[in-house]
Amino acid sequence: MEKSNAQKTFGTLKGKKILIVDDEQLNQLVIKNMIKLWGAECETAEEGNSAFKKIFDNNYDIILMDLMMPGLDGYQTAQKIRKEINPPKNQVPILALTGSTSGASIEKLSESGINDFAAKPFKIEELHAKITKLIFGVESKTDIQVSSDQDFINLDYLKESAGNNPSLIKDIINIFLDQTPGFISQIEDAVKSENWEDAKTFAHKMKPTVSYVGISSLVEIIKNIEDYSEEKIHLEKIPGLVKDLKTGCQTAFIELKKELLRIQ
């Protein structure tokens, strides 16, 4: 039987130590599980100042850095690491986890001392390849597979990310069910008050959460809300997109609750 992409990478980072810097619980849970499958030791920080202290006090092989965090954001944290920690520790590779890959953002990454980025939502094999290249200087060799988008929800990505662990799949679905209504309310409130910066921020935070549970059609809607809010274009379309997002999530809730019953 041919191995899955996740199985091909089992144990390949054994002995390595990785710090995840991200304020979103679901992001931490999914990434920590991937790193565990790869055999690496993993620690977490929820914001830039605590990440800086951990890096000052410990040695890591790579930092996975979310860019949009409260307090010090990912750019500022990377700059602080490069400028205020003594070498060679300040040269630890930093991989940004970002939902924005515009030219301006990529230029800002470089200026901040960030080595590379993985665009959310990322696939397991793509994230592994980025990490491997930064730690070892070589790219991992896994076959990239594209999931079918025919179903409204495609849980293949989630199942592979979770190593087909029913308990972890259940945890991720429950976090999605708990967090999503709050994200939608925040986006709705921001749009009603025409606070486009907040609308962009909350859409950005929601996008990977929806991707983890395999709702590709809603990812595109969220991306449009984020992009239109950031560029302040097609603003008249955003309320309709938010309505479509809410309706789609309600459909997803029903299907995911059925999946929970199957798991149990």
Question: pLDDT for 147-201, tens place per residue?
Answer: 333 356 888 878 887 888 899 899 989 999 999 999 999 999 999 999 999 999 9
Q: Is residue 128 part of a domain?
A: yes
Q: What is the mean pLDDT of the chain?
A: 86
> Would the pTM count as exceeding 0.75?
no
Q: Which of 83, 108, 136 is the last residue of a domain?
A: 136
Amino acid 207 reads K
127 and 173 assigned to the same domain:
no
Residue 85 contacts residue 55 (beta carbons within 8 Å): yes
The Cα–Cα gap between 264 and 261 comes to 5
Residue 69 contacts residue 22 (beta carbons within 8 Å): yes
Q: Is residue 71 part of a domain?
A: yes
95 and 34 assigned to the same domain:
yes
Q: Is residue 45 part of a domain?
A: yes
Q: What is the CATH number of the domain that holds 110?
A: 3.40.50.2300
The Cα–Cα gap between 222 and 176 comes to 15
What would you measure as the largest C-alpha separation in the chain, in angstroms?
Answer: 55
What is the reported pLDDT for 206?
Answer: 92
Q: Which of 105, 136, 167 is the last residue of a domain?
A: 136
109 and 161 assigned to the same domain:
no
62 and 160 assigned to the same domain:
no
Pairing status of strand 41-45 against strand 62-66: unpaired
What is the reported pLDDT for 1?
Answer: 44
What is the reported pLDDT for 229?
Answer: 96
Q: What is the pLDDT along the chain (264 residues), one digit of tens a residue?
A: 445 555 566 678 999 999 999 998 888 998 998 898 899 999 999 999 999 999 999 999 999 999 988 889 999 999 999 999 999 899 999 999 987 666 557 788 889 999 999 987 677 888 899 999 999 885 544 433 333 333 568 888 788 878 888 998 999 899 999 999 999 999 999 999 999 999 999 999 898 889 888 888 898 899 999 999 999 999 999 999 999 999 999 988 988 998 898 887
Is the preceding peptide bond at 70 cis, omega within 30 degrees of 0?
no
Q: Is residue 141 part of a domain?
A: no
Residue 84 belongs to what H/E stretch? helix 74-84
- Burial environment of residue 35 by CB neighbours within 10 A (0 to 12, 13 to 18, 19 or more): buried
The Cα–Cα gap between 243 and 220 comes to 14
What is the reported pLDDT for 147?
Answer: 36
187 and 116 assigned to the same domain:
no
Residue 173 contacts residue 256 (beta carbons within 8 Å): yes
DSSP letter at 96 equals: E
What is the reported pLDDT for 27?
Answer: 87
Which range marks the domain in which residue 234 is found? Answer: 156-263
Cα dihedral across residues 87, 92, 97, 103: positive or negative: positive
Written as six digits, the tokens of 221 are 């809607």
Q: How many CB atoms lie within 10 A of CB 201?
A: 18
21 and 95 assigned to the same domain:
yes
CA atoms in the 13 A half-sphere facing the CB of 143 = 6
What is the reported pLDDT for 142?
Answer: 40
**Domain tally for the chain?**
2
